[in-house]
Structure 1
Amino acid sequence: MLIYYVVFFFLILRFAVTLFNFISNPKLTATARTYTELVSVLIPARNEQGDILNLLESISAQDYQNLEVIVLDDSSTDATYEQCKRFSQRDSRFRVVSGKELPEGWLGKNYACHQLAGLAKGKYFLFLDADTTVSPGLINNGVHRLRLGRLHLLSLFANQRMLTMGERMVVPLMHFLLLNLLPMRLVKLSKNTAFAAASGQCMFFDGVAYRKEQWHSRVRDKVVEDIEIMKQVKGSGYKGEALLANGYVYCRMYRGFGEAVSGFSKNLLAGFNNNVAGLVCYLLLVMLGPLFIALYLDLQLLLFMVTLVVLTRLMISLLSGQNPFWNIILHPFQMLSLLILSIVSVRKHLTNTVTWKGRRVDS
């Protein structure tokens, strides 16, 4: 009977975390105030010719005018540099530079961001992934949030665009894991670095603190550099906050099931601190525990468990701007995808074969 109590306790605990997130509604909100300080928008780009122009156009359409936008081309083998160069000729606020050769001991994106920060002149640094797009109001509302909360780092979790069934089976797992396990408000309210979350897709820094601490240099060899930076920020006595982008940042991370599995598998185990046993325990509680209960418990308890799962998926979907119908219907398939992701992630970790954008990532 012990397994019943453990599984139900974990299920109710995760439901309580989700309910807390749903009620506290951790989203970036709009402000009527207007700010004018220089913001440096910093974009690391490697082989992004299919996405980068959409991002540049969306930044150009921002209502915030005092910007400098720097794209660092990280040894692309496609037309990324040429596209950005042509765009910069239309708007003097934009420029593109070529990145330096990757030094030993650094991961590619971390070194690209480090170089970008060295070029930035703004009071605030906004790092954006090249496959994102931003909506009007993002920068002004972000500056307001930084000032209001006296923050040194604000990270936003983008709304995810999914166009294929394969993407719907994998991409929602990011918000599922986040909102089902972490009370997001505690990232700001608690000084404990265990309550750390961040998304490298959108990282907004106070420039003075960044120049002093050189955050990307501190995590130069970390795969999940965003969470590690948030831990560093909080551990150094600075203030950080993680919020849902609330429609101000969009991203289509992957195109299809295979690409999504490949992308998420490089981060999944690292998100569990490379603790294989911890990941296995989580999978047992989330997947095999409910299956065991479904086989051996009575109908009332089974319906109770299903109700909690459905309500959890409904709340997470509404918070993240995703389709509740698809996430509820596809929940069993998403859990199967989580198992596949975990197996691939552990295998890559044990064989040291994690790669991304043509580079090996030592995990």
Structure 2
Amino acid sequence: MFWLMILIFLFWMIIFVDFQRGFKSLPSIDHQACKDERSLISVIIAAKDEEESIKQTIETLLNQKYVKLEILAVNDRSTDLTGSIIENISAHHPNVHSITINNLPSGWLGKNHALHIGAQQAKGTYLLFTDADIYFHENVVSQAVTFLKKENLDHLTAAPNLRAGSFFLKGLISFFLFGFAYLKRPWTANRPSNKGGMGVGAFQLLTNACYKGISGHRAIRFRPDDDLAMGLRIKKLGYRQNLVTALRSLSVEWYPDLPSAFKGFEKNAFAGLNYSVSFALLAILGVFTSQILPFITIWSDRLPLQIISAFTIGLLFYLYALTTRHLTTYSVWMVFGLPFFAMLFIYMLSRALLLTFLRGGIEWRGSRYSLKELKKYYRNSEEE
């Protein structure tokens, strides 16, 4: 056990070096100076049953300064008042266009199809893909375009503030971001090579030419992780990309409570693990061994094991705090809940994988997608 803990400690030391370099390369656009942008920017929103948030999202976009926007709000088969709300706003604002989708063609996920339809009607030099529950600070689109042009980028994606109410929901979100950071290394998006890449669904700004160059959403039409898949494809095809944070300029309530988070995780869990059972089991074992086991072995009666466990725990707390400080607005005191959040994450991941297999696929926003189809289109998108 002592030598296993030595290996775990060395693993986190490697992550420590990567985190130190990586987070320094993630700029924020919160204080980016604004400039008037004369080019048209097409904002494309996919909305399915979003009556509680769509009005606020569109209104905060209408309040944007220093930019010329057209807003294409796509009502994707909603069964609530989403469509009526969009149509009412568009009747009073000529730059808001209401698009309604009544049927989902085979071979497409609903959100990806809605964004694809919106993009087909977009006239802007720049396209901004976003969600229907995002709050935009009045200068953020101008700040983003200014940054994109200053850095000569084709694609800019921004991480928002993920609002959460309860302590355990904040813990689950911050733990997810911690795992995402060491597994996906999001800062690779900001490096010149075409390896790595990143996409955040809340804010994907890219040139129209770049979007067409990657074959748009058609190339990722059956990917539940459409935002990340698009970012990876953009980078793979040699376009210039950056990930930034916008914790003061963008915000979203990712999930209102823990049950909603568990439900939402069902959509992306298996996709994030490349639809691999062995990878999924390895992920569960890896989280337990590297992030829970040290809190158990520190109670050993062997002093050397206690010492290395204590050093490992200290390193884990530091890395978790670093992630929390850079990617959230939560208190760094959250770090002391790490072992509990890790167990909660293992439960959530195990639950999502079990349900995916029992159902033979995923259910999302009223639609069901088979695992066979998801795997097929995942392989196809990787080969294209």
Q: What's the counterpart of residue 159 of structure 2?
A: 157
- Which residue identity does 1:303 align to in structure 2? A
Correspondence for 2:345 among 328, 338, 349 = 338
Aligned equivalents of 2:316, 2:333: Cα separation in 1: 14
Q: Could you tell me how far 1:266 is from its partner in structure 2?
A: 1.8
Instruction: Calculate percent identity across the aligned residue pairs.
Output: 23
- Which residue identity does 1:327 align to in structure 2? M
Matched, 1:312 2:313: no
Q: Could you tell me how far 1:290 is from its partner in structure 2?
A: 4.7
Aligned equivalents of 1:237, 1:105: Cα separation in 2: 27
- Which residue identity does 1:304 align to in structure 2? F
Q: Could you tell me how far 1:168 is from its partner in structure 2?
A: 1.9
- Which residue identity does 2:43 align to in structure 1? V
Contact 1:126 1:204 in 2 (8 A): yes
Distance 1:213 1:323, change over 3 A: closer
Aligned equivalents of 1:291, 1:147: Cα separation in 2: 44
Q: Could you tell me how far 1:198 is from its partner in structure 2?
A: 1.3
Q: What's the counterpart of residue 22 of structure 1?
A: 23
1:1-363 map, 5 Å: 1-29=2-30, 30-193=32-195, 195-293=196-294, 294-295=296-297, 296=300, 297-325=304-332, 327-351=334-358, 352-362=360-370, 363=374
Distance 1:252 1:290, change over 3 A: closer
Aligned equivalents of 1:340, 1:266: Cα separation in 2: 15
Distance 1:246 1:38, change over 3 A: same
Q: CA offsets, 1:83-136, max 9 Å, x none?
A: 112222332221211025211111101100100000100110001100111112
Q: CA offsets, 1:309-351, max 9 Å, x none?
A: 2211221111123323452133222111210121122223333
Distance 1:162 1:219, change over 3 A: same
State which drifts further: 62-71 or 41-50.
62-71
Distance 1:238 1:137, change over 3 A: same
Q: Could you tell me how far 1:2 is from its partner in structure 2?
A: 4.4
Contact 2:247 2:329 in 1 (8 A): no
Q: If the length of structure 2 is used for normalisation, what is the TM-score?
A: 0.87
Aligned equivalents of 1:151, 1:99: Cα separation in 2: 32
Report the 3-state secondary structure (helix = DSSP H, G, I; strand = E; otherwise coil) of the residue aligned with 1:70.
strand
Aligned equivalents of 1:74, 1:189: Cα separation in 2: 36
Aligned equivalents of 1:288, 1:84: Cα separation in 2: 49
- Which residue identity does 2:348 align to in structure 1? L
Report the 3-state secondary structure (helix = DSSP H, G, I; strand = E; otherwise coil) of the residue aligned with 1:274.
coil
State which drifts further: 310-319 or 324-333.
324-333
Distance 1:314 1:95, change over 3 A: same
- Which residue identity does 2:38 align to in structure 1? T
Contact 1:26 1:185 in 2 (8 A): no
Q: CA offsets, 1:67-97, max 9 Å, x none?
A: 1011000010000011112222332221211
Contact 1:223 1:361 in 2 (8 A): no
Contact 2:8 2:312 in 1 (8 A): no
Contact 1:41 1:70 in 2 (8 A): yes
Q: CA offsets, 1:123-152, max 9 Å, x none?
A: 100011001111122111211222223322
- Which residue identity does 2:61 align to in structure 1? I
Aligned equivalents of 2:129, 2:143: Cα separation in 1: 15
RMSD between aligned residues: 2.1
- Which residue identity does 2:313 align to in structure 1? V
Report the 3-state secondary structure (helix = DSSP H, G, I; strand = E; otherwise coil) of the residue aligned with 2:173.
coil
Distance 1:12 1:279, change over 3 A: farther
Distance 1:101 1:165, change over 3 A: same
Report the 3-state secondary structure (helix = DSSP H, G, I; strand = E; otherwise coil) of the residue aligned with 2:64.
coil
Q: CA offsets, 1:230-251, max 9 Å, x none?
A: 2221222222222222322111
